[in-house]
Amino acid sequence: MIPGLIDSLADITSHRDRDEVDRAIVAMLFSHIRPGRVCLYRLLPGAAEGAMEARGVQLRAVADAAGARTPPEEDPSDPQGWPTVDSRAPWRECVRRGDVVHYLGDEGEPGSLNSVFPILADHGLIGLLEIECAGRCMSLRPEDVRLVQAVLRILRNHLSVLDYGERDTLTGLRNRRTFETMFAKRRVFRRRAGDQKAGTRTNWVGIVDVDRFKAINDTFGHLFGDEVLLLIARRMQETFRQSEALFRFGGEEFLVILDDADESGAMKAFERFRTAIEQHRFPQIGQVTVSVGITRIDAYDIPASAIDRADSALYFAKEHGRNRTLAYEALVREGLLARKAVQAAELELF
């Protein structure tokens, strides 16, 4: 068993994509423990530390007799139907205790004892791992529990390494290196869902730029400038939905992938954020504003093409008063911008 276990751990730590890591974890545990099913859940980020039980819970990977997979029904843009930590007593108790919880299953074979483990990262609880027992494995043995806990410690260390390369050190948001991967996942999901017809809800990318940021640095110093960026990042996390992908793109520029909205809804979401920044009083500095340019992500878009369109709308906002949110598509309809050709991604056969 030991050589196979080492091979499985090596496979887990060879992955850089989070979805691949999740699938490798559940596959490895199912293979070595042989329960009825292994499920890995991620907790969606919450605006407040004290609201842990209200956090959304998203199923990210499953392993059972049919194999390991990411559930196709889990739409990353539709968190409305997802359960919360508080919706299930074993989850709530696991989060409260920060330790494994064993419980009798409501479904499955009578007498089976299921288990749920907390998944920790350096910045706290990020998920839950649930093992549903059945057949010859009616409950976890002590050595099985130790195995799961050891694997989750390895996962924590691996995620720390990934976060170091994927997170902006000042704001904690995703950095520019991760944008293309996230963009491709959103685009591919929408294409598979057949959701790209004119007038339907789709995904959007928005570029947020801090107005007159150089003047802030020159007048108050870089320490206060960094505080402005940190506070703006926090407002982004509080204003946008839990499922949205938020990035610091470099300097005073941020980027948001907004899920599942028509043009009116996208404008409202970004306007809500712009207004929140305008109304916030920043220490020492007072009022800070941002300008925003947005564009729809087309079915076969590439990141560079979408960013170029959003940047055109942002530049127009900067040149016409700042502290505004403008959509590229609306500017084209009004004859204020020339339409750019959409650069298509290569055809994906598989």
Amino acid 216: pLDDT: 97
Structure tokens at 95: 């989060």
**CA angle in degrees (0–180, nearest 5) for 135-136-137:** 90
Distance in angstroms between the alpha carbons of the first and the last residue of the chain: 34
Q: What percent of the chain has pLDDT over 70?
A: 86
Whether the CB-CB separation of 129 and 95 falls below 8 Å is answered with: no
- DSSP H helical ranges for the chain: 2-14, 18-33, 89-97, 142-166, 179-192, 213-220, 222-239, 263-279, 303-319, 328-333
Please choose, from the candidates 139, 141, 117, the residue with its C-alpha nearest in 3D space to the C-alpha of residue 128: 117
Banded pLDDT at 251 (limits 50, 70, 90): very high
**Residue 117: beta bridge partners?**
129
Integer Rg of the chain from CA: 22
Residue 320 CA to residue 323 CA, distance in Å, equals: 9
Amino acid 75: pLDDT: 47
Whether the CB-CB separation of 247 and 254 falls below 8 Å is answered with: yes
Per-residue pLDDT reduced to its tens digit, 236-245: 988 998 778 9
The per-residue DSSP string of 243-269 comes to T-EEEEEETTEEEEEEEEE-HHHHHHH
Whether the CB-CB separation of 147 and 220 falls below 8 Å is answered with: no
Q: Which is more confident, 14 or 89?
A: 89
Residue with tokens 């409305």: 80
Banded pLDDT at 344 (limits 50, 70, 90): low
Amino acid 167: pLDDT: 85
Please choose, from the candidates 91, 90, 100, 97, the residue with its C-alpha nearest in 3D space to the C-alpha of residue 142: 100
Look at strands 325-327 and 290-296 and give their pairing: parallel
Q: Which of 106-110, 182-186, 221-225, 313-317 is the least confident region?
A: 106-110
What mean pLDDT comes out for the span 223-249? 92
Residue 40 CA to residue 26 CA, distance in Å, equals: 7
Amino acid 350: pLDDT: 34
Residue with tokens 């703006």: 232
Please choose, from the candidates 153, 165, 164, the residue with its C-alpha nearest in 3D space to the C-alpha of residue 9: 153
Amino acid 72: pLDDT: 65
Residue 20 CA to residue 70 CA, distance in Å, equals: 9
**pLDDT surpassing 60 at residue 194:** no
Residue with tokens 């809800």: 201
Q: What percent of the chain has pLDDT over 90?
A: 62
Residue 236 CA to residue 227 CA, distance in Å, equals: 14
What mean pLDDT comes out for the span 95-107? 88
Q: Which is more confident, 20 or 48?
A: 20
Average pLDDT of the residues of the chain: 87
Amino acid 1: pLDDT: 53
Backbone angles phi, psi at 220, to 5 degrees: -110, -15
The torsion of the CA quartet 177, 268, 274, 239, rounded to 10 degrees, works out to -70
Please choose, from the candidates 249, 266, 236, the residue with its C-alpha nearest in 3D space to the C-alpha of residue 303: 249
Banded pLDDT at 81 (limits 50, 70, 90): low
Structural domains of the chain in order of their starting residue, each with its CATH number = 2-164 (3.30.450.40), 176-333 (3.30.70.270)
Whether the CB-CB separation of 287 and 263 falls below 8 Å is answered with: no
What mean pLDDT comes out for the span 113-138? 92
Q: Which of 70-84, 121-135, 260-274, 286-300 is the least confident region?
A: 70-84
Amino acid 14: pLDDT: 84
Banded pLDDT at 193 (limits 50, 70, 90): low
Q: Which residues are catalytic?
A: 252
